[in-house]
Chains A and B, each alone.
Chain A
Amino acid sequence: MALDCDAELMLRVKDGDGASFGLLLGKYRASVTHFLYRMVQDQAVSEELAQEVFLRVYRSRETYEPTAKFTTWLYKIATNLALNWLRDEKNERGQQRLDETSEDAPAREVADRSPSVEQKLLHQVKVEAVRQAVAALPEKQRAAVLMHKYDEMEYSQIAKVLSCSESAVKSLLFRAYETLRMRLAHMA
């Protein structure tokens, strides 16, 4: 199997080359953090999780084996961290809801970013609609859509990240986009 250049860089990190780690960080820092941001929809949390992803990459350098593409391994770490965080968050929110006396929790508000121009406002409303539609997707569907849309991953790679078959990924994506088509139809 021919090694991708990222795997070669990672093997150099394994041999103690810190500069190669810096190259990998520079290449994937933004895409991993953005993927995590769209998964958890919280900027501070997404950065914390991204830090953890790269810390784990560095810690695992000695045991790293290039059995798959580097990005598959990287996104597998990121996806697992995001799914774990969402699960914990869901449990915590469920607990809070039980503790709350009022049933009507305040709805998440759109950030106020100086809405002076009408176009800017319209854009914000659209982005908020997209954000909510993506957030409403089941977690695995959400991860599959984000990897397919923003990271341009192939079905086989998404399948490896999510530990499922390629046909399962196609099915996940088809259902996810179907939901999004219904929820975002008004944006036509």
Chain B
Amino acid sequence: MDCPIKTQESTDWLLDFVAGRLHGERAAELVRHVEACNDCANFVAAQRVVWNALDQWEPEPLSIDFDRRLYRSIEAARPASGLAGMLRRIFGPLQPLWRPVVPLAAACLLIVAGVMLHAPQAVIAPLDGTARVEKIEPEQVERTLDDMQMLRELVVAPEQGKNISKSM
């Protein structure tokens, strides 16, 4: 076979050979070549050092609550069932539309509240008046009308007296 190092072809064979993943005729062919080729023998020796060094790097064990955390995240991401879920499904896509309306509505409410605080009488006075009218009783009206009749008679009586004396 052609030397993988010199031709820069089939260099993966050398990597696979060191990794123990080259089998059959290919492996036998490479073994024969490595025995005869100094460059490939050096390559294989150096690659074995790397391979063994990488073997020593063991990761730390996983947290015992790994699965619990994952299932909690899955549960949190799952859409809610029942009425809440249905409402969320219906109005969820509309969220971007109504979201900007909320601060606008809040601003409008503040303005209305401000106007009401600045002119409280304007609103309260008519209400107060209405309440007073509703409280007047029929007897009171009758009495007032009687008083007015009496006053009219008092005014009319002296005038009639004057007219009589003039005619005499």
* Contact yes or no, B62 A177, CB < 8 A: no
The answer to whether B59 and A34 have CB atoms under 8 Å apart is: yes
Bound complex: CA A75 to CA B19 (Å): 21
Instruction: Check: A5 CB closer than 8 A to any chain B CB.
Output: no
User: B54 an interface residue at 8 Å Cβ cutoff?
Assistant: yes
Min C-beta distance of A121 to chain B, whole Å:
13
Instruction: Report the separation of the CA atoms of residues A10 and B66 in the bound assembly, to the nearest whole angstrom.
Output: 20
Whether A1 is near chain B, meaning CB under 8 Å from some CB there, is no
Q: Are A185 and B49 in contact (CB-based, < 8 A)? A: yes
Residue-wise, chain B 35-64 has the 8 Å CB interface mask toward A (1 for contact) of 000000000011101111110111110110
A38 and B54 CA atoms in complex are apart in Å by 11
Min distance, Cβ B104 to any Cβ of chain A, angstroms: 35
A55 and B77 contact, CB distance less than 8 A: yes
Asked if A127 and B49 make an inter-chain contact with CB atoms under 8 angstroms apart, the answer reads no
Q: Kindly provide the distance from the CB of B141 to the nearest chain A CB, expressed in whole angstroms.
A: 79
Indicate if the CB atoms of B73 and A181 lie closer than 8 Å: no
A contact patch SS? helix
Q: Nearest chain A CB to B39's CB is how many angstroms away?
A: 13
A25 touches B12 (CB 8 A): no
Which residues of chain A are near B49, meaning CB under 8 Å? 181, 184-185, 187-188
Nearest-CB residue, chain B, relative to A58: B74
Asked if residues A126 and B56 are in contact (CB atoms below 8 Å), the reply is yes
In the assembled complex, B115 has its CB within 8 A of some CB on chain A: no
Cβ–Cβ contact A47 & B50, under 8 A: no
Please determine whether A187 and B63 come into contact, CB atoms closer than 8 angstroms.
no
| A33 B69 Cβ-Cβ under 8 A | no
Besides A47-B66, A150-B54, 5 other CB < 8 A contacts? A33-B62, A130-B57, A152-B19, A174-B15, A181-B47
